[in-house]
Amino acid sequence: MKHWNISFAGCGFRSIYHLGALSCILERVPRLVHGASKICGASSGCLVAAALTVGIPMGEFIVFVKLLLLCLLRAVQDILLEKLPADAHLRASGKLCVSLTRLSDRQNVLVSEFDSREELIQALLCSCFFPVYCGFIPPSYHGVHYMDGALSNNLPLFEQRNTITVAPFSGESDICPREGTFNFFEVHYGNVSIQVNTGNVHRICTSFLPPGPEVGGDDWLTVSLFLCAYWIEGIS
Protein backbone atom coordinates (compact mmCIF):
# COMPACT_ATOMS: atom_id res chain seq x y z
CA MET A 1 0.00 0.00 0.00
CA LYS A 2 1.67 3.20 -1.21
CA HIS A 3 -0.66 5.66 0.49
CA TRP A 4 -2.59 5.27 3.70
CA ASN A 5 -4.35 7.26 6.40
CA ILE A 6 -4.73 6.74 10.15
CA SER A 7 -7.98 7.66 11.88
CA PHE A 8 -8.45 7.93 15.66
CA ALA A 9 -11.95 7.55 17.09
CA GLY A 10 -13.15 9.97 19.72
CA CYS A 11 -13.81 8.28 23.05
CA GLY A 12 -13.45 10.83 25.84
CA PHE A 13 -11.12 9.68 28.58
CA ARG A 14 -10.75 6.30 26.87
CA SER A 15 -8.30 7.98 24.50
CA ILE A 16 -5.65 6.76 26.91
CA TYR A 17 -5.94 3.61 24.76
CA HIS A 18 -4.52 5.58 21.82
CA LEU A 19 -1.39 6.31 23.84
CA GLY A 20 -0.73 2.63 24.44
CA ALA A 21 -1.40 1.70 20.82
CA LEU A 22 0.82 4.51 19.53
CA SER A 23 3.67 3.64 21.90
CA CYS A 24 3.67 0.13 20.44
CA ILE A 25 3.40 1.33 16.83
CA LEU A 26 6.15 3.93 17.18
CA GLU A 27 8.42 1.34 18.77
CA ARG A 28 7.84 -1.43 16.24
CA VAL A 29 6.66 0.18 12.98
CA PRO A 30 7.15 3.97 13.21
CA ARG A 31 6.71 4.32 9.44
CA LEU A 32 3.05 3.42 9.89
CA VAL A 33 2.57 6.79 11.57
CA HIS A 34 5.27 8.94 9.98
CA GLY A 35 4.44 7.77 6.45
CA ALA A 36 0.69 8.32 6.67
CA SER A 37 -0.82 10.67 4.08
CA LYS A 38 -3.44 11.95 6.54
CA ILE A 39 -3.80 11.62 10.29
CA CYS A 40 -7.46 11.98 11.23
CA GLY A 41 -9.50 12.26 14.37
CA ALA A 42 -12.80 13.24 15.93
CA SER A 43 -13.43 14.62 19.39
CA SER A 44 -10.63 13.52 21.74
CA GLY A 45 -9.17 11.52 18.86
CA CYS A 46 -8.41 14.73 16.97
CA LEU A 47 -6.22 15.90 19.86
CA VAL A 48 -4.14 12.75 19.50
CA ALA A 49 -4.02 13.24 15.72
CA ALA A 50 -3.01 16.89 16.10
CA ALA A 51 -0.19 16.11 18.53
CA LEU A 52 1.17 13.51 16.11
CA THR A 53 0.83 15.76 13.07
CA VAL A 54 2.67 18.77 14.49
CA GLY A 55 5.53 16.57 15.68
CA ILE A 56 5.40 16.83 19.45
CA PRO A 57 8.14 14.46 20.80
CA MET A 58 6.82 11.21 22.28
CA GLY A 59 7.90 12.07 25.83
CA GLU A 60 6.06 15.38 25.73
CA PHE A 61 3.30 13.85 23.63
CA ILE A 62 2.18 11.48 26.40
CA VAL A 63 1.99 14.25 28.99
CA PHE A 64 0.38 16.59 26.47
CA VAL A 65 -2.47 14.21 25.64
CA LYS A 66 -3.05 13.22 29.28
CA LEU A 67 -3.34 16.88 30.24
CA LEU A 68 -5.81 17.51 27.44
CA LEU A 69 -7.90 14.47 28.35
CA LEU A 70 -8.15 15.43 32.01
CA CYS A 71 -8.90 19.13 31.63
CA LEU A 72 -12.06 21.12 31.16
CA LEU A 73 -12.63 22.35 27.61
CA ARG A 74 -12.01 25.96 28.61
CA ALA A 75 -8.57 24.94 29.89
CA VAL A 76 -7.75 22.90 26.77
CA GLN A 77 -7.40 26.10 24.74
CA ASP A 78 -4.73 27.40 27.11
CA ILE A 79 -2.81 24.12 26.91
CA LEU A 80 -2.98 24.11 23.11
CA LEU A 81 -1.72 27.70 23.00
CA GLU A 82 1.17 26.72 25.23
CA LYS A 83 2.14 23.38 23.64
CA LEU A 84 1.48 23.75 19.91
CA PRO A 85 4.42 25.27 18.00
CA ALA A 86 3.99 28.59 16.22
CA ASP A 87 3.91 26.87 12.83
CA ALA A 88 1.48 24.13 13.93
CA HIS A 89 -1.07 25.19 11.30
CA LEU A 90 1.52 24.85 8.54
CA ARG A 91 2.49 21.36 9.70
CA ALA A 92 -1.16 20.35 10.06
CA SER A 93 -2.51 21.74 6.78
CA GLY A 94 -3.08 19.00 4.23
CA LYS A 95 -2.17 16.24 6.69
CA LEU A 96 -4.42 16.60 9.74
CA CYS A 97 -8.12 15.87 9.17
CA VAL A 98 -10.53 17.04 11.89
CA SER A 99 -14.17 15.91 12.07
CA LEU A 100 -16.77 18.54 13.05
CA THR A 101 -20.55 18.38 13.42
CA ARG A 102 -22.35 21.50 12.23
CA LEU A 103 -24.84 22.61 14.86
CA SER A 104 -27.49 23.94 12.47
CA ASP A 105 -28.13 20.73 10.52
CA ARG A 106 -26.03 18.07 12.35
CA GLN A 107 -24.05 17.43 9.14
CA ASN A 108 -20.43 16.33 9.21
CA VAL A 109 -17.65 18.64 8.03
CA LEU A 110 -14.02 17.55 7.57
CA VAL A 111 -11.37 20.24 7.91
CA SER A 112 -7.79 19.82 6.65
CA GLU A 113 -6.57 23.34 5.86
CA PHE A 114 -5.71 25.95 8.51
CA ASP A 115 -4.65 29.55 7.86
CA SER A 116 -3.32 30.18 11.38
CA ARG A 117 -2.51 28.41 14.62
CA GLU A 118 -5.54 30.04 16.23
CA GLU A 119 -7.75 28.63 13.46
CA LEU A 120 -6.33 25.15 14.06
CA ILE A 121 -6.99 25.42 17.79
CA GLN A 122 -10.54 26.59 17.17
CA ALA A 123 -11.24 23.60 14.92
CA LEU A 124 -9.92 21.23 17.62
CA LEU A 125 -12.08 22.86 20.28
CA CYS A 126 -15.18 22.57 18.09
CA SER A 127 -14.54 18.87 17.48
CA CYS A 128 -14.25 18.24 21.23
CA PHE A 129 -17.37 20.12 22.31
CA PHE A 130 -19.84 17.55 23.64
CA PRO A 131 -23.18 19.32 24.34
CA VAL A 132 -24.10 19.79 28.02
CA TYR A 133 -21.04 17.85 29.20
CA CYS A 134 -18.77 20.66 27.95
CA GLY A 135 -21.30 23.46 28.26
CA PHE A 136 -24.32 24.86 26.46
CA ILE A 137 -22.85 27.36 23.99
CA PRO A 138 -20.80 25.60 21.30
CA PRO A 139 -17.63 27.23 19.94
CA SER A 140 -17.48 28.51 16.38
CA TYR A 141 -15.15 27.99 13.44
CA HIS A 142 -15.20 30.54 10.60
CA GLY A 143 -18.29 32.06 12.21
CA VAL A 144 -20.26 28.78 12.20
CA HIS A 145 -21.10 26.88 15.40
CA TYR A 146 -19.93 23.28 15.58
CA MET A 147 -20.01 20.51 18.14
CA ASP A 148 -18.37 17.14 18.78
CA GLY A 149 -17.24 15.54 15.53
CA ALA A 150 -17.99 12.08 16.94
CA LEU A 151 -21.71 12.83 16.76
CA SER A 152 -21.67 12.67 12.95
CA ASN A 153 -18.41 10.93 11.97
CA ASN A 154 -16.23 9.42 14.66
CA LEU A 155 -13.72 7.88 12.23
CA PRO A 156 -12.87 10.38 9.48
CA LEU A 157 -12.07 8.76 6.11
CA PHE A 158 -13.07 5.34 7.48
CA GLU A 159 -14.80 4.59 4.17
CA GLN A 160 -11.49 4.64 2.31
CA ARG A 161 -9.95 1.18 2.13
CA ASN A 162 -6.48 2.60 2.79
CA THR A 163 -7.47 4.11 6.16
CA ILE A 164 -6.20 2.36 9.30
CA THR A 165 -8.81 2.82 12.01
CA VAL A 166 -8.00 2.97 15.74
CA ALA A 167 -10.70 2.74 18.43
CA PRO A 168 -10.71 1.67 22.10
CA PHE A 169 -13.88 -0.41 21.67
CA SER A 170 -13.80 -4.03 20.53
CA GLY A 171 -15.31 -4.32 17.07
CA GLU A 172 -14.25 -4.19 13.44
CA SER A 173 -11.69 -1.36 13.72
CA ASP A 174 -8.22 -2.29 12.51
CA ILE A 175 -6.63 -1.56 15.89
CA CYS A 176 -8.91 -2.14 18.88
CA PRO A 177 -9.26 -4.37 21.96
CA ARG A 178 -10.10 -8.00 21.28
CA GLU A 179 -12.65 -9.84 23.40
CA GLY A 180 -12.10 -13.50 24.22
CA THR A 181 -15.70 -14.47 23.51
CA PHE A 182 -17.75 -14.58 20.33
CA ASN A 183 -19.87 -11.52 19.63
CA PHE A 184 -22.88 -11.90 17.36
CA PHE A 185 -24.22 -8.37 17.79
CA GLU A 186 -22.68 -4.99 17.13
CA VAL A 187 -23.81 -1.41 16.79
CA HIS A 188 -22.35 1.43 14.75
CA TYR A 189 -21.97 4.86 16.27
CA GLY A 190 -20.50 7.60 14.13
CA ASN A 191 -19.09 4.93 11.80
CA VAL A 192 -17.36 3.08 14.66
CA SER A 193 -18.13 -0.63 15.00
CA ILE A 194 -18.86 -1.52 18.65
CA GLN A 195 -19.59 -5.09 19.67
CA VAL A 196 -22.27 -5.66 22.28
CA ASN A 197 -20.43 -7.11 25.28
CA THR A 198 -19.74 -6.29 28.91
CA GLY A 199 -16.25 -5.04 28.14
CA ASN A 200 -17.58 -2.37 25.79
CA VAL A 201 -20.32 -1.37 28.22
CA HIS A 202 -17.61 -0.63 30.76
CA ARG A 203 -15.48 1.21 28.19
CA ILE A 204 -18.36 3.41 27.05
CA CYS A 205 -19.37 4.28 30.62
CA THR A 206 -15.82 5.19 31.63
CA SER A 207 -15.36 7.34 28.52
CA PHE A 208 -17.02 10.12 30.49
CA LEU A 209 -15.12 9.49 33.72
CA PRO A 210 -11.54 10.73 34.20
CA PRO A 211 -9.06 8.03 35.22
CA GLY A 212 -7.89 8.01 38.80
CA PRO A 213 -4.39 8.72 40.12
CA GLU A 214 -3.35 5.09 39.61
CA VAL A 215 -3.68 5.68 35.83
CA GLY A 216 -2.44 9.24 35.56
CA GLY A 217 0.50 9.00 38.01
CA ASP A 218 2.37 12.26 38.48
CA ASP A 219 0.47 13.79 35.56
CA TRP A 220 -2.78 13.29 37.47
CA LEU A 221 -1.41 15.40 40.33
CA THR A 222 -0.24 18.05 37.87
CA VAL A 223 -3.69 18.20 36.30
CA SER A 224 -5.42 18.35 39.69
CA LEU A 225 -3.32 21.34 40.72
CA PHE A 226 -3.87 22.95 37.31
CA LEU A 227 -7.65 22.59 37.59
CA CYS A 228 -7.72 23.87 41.17
CA ALA A 229 -5.80 26.97 40.12
CA TYR A 230 -8.12 27.44 37.14
CA TRP A 231 -11.28 27.12 39.25
CA ILE A 232 -9.92 29.50 41.93
CA GLU A 233 -9.12 32.04 39.22
CA GLY A 234 -12.60 31.63 37.79
CA ILE A 235 -14.42 32.34 41.06
CA SER A 236 -12.12 35.09 42.28
Judge whether 148 counts as a catalytic residue: yes
Report the distance separating Cα 119 and Cα 123, nearest Å. Answer: 6
Residue among 140, 130, 173, 171 nearest 6 (CA): 173
Q: Rounded to the nearest 5°, which phi and psi values hold at 97? A: -125, 115
Catalytic residue among 7, 148, 173, 193: 148
**Neighbour count for residue 230 (Cβ, 10 Å):** 14
Judge whether 43 counts as a catalytic residue: yes
**Neighbour count for residue 80 (Cβ, 10 Å):** 22
Catalytic residue among 43, 44, 99, 152: 43
Q: Rounded to the nearest 5°, which phi and psi values hold at 2? A: -80, -35
Report the distance separating Cα 164 and Cα 160, nearest Å. Answer: 9
Q: Which residues are catalytic?
A: 43, 148
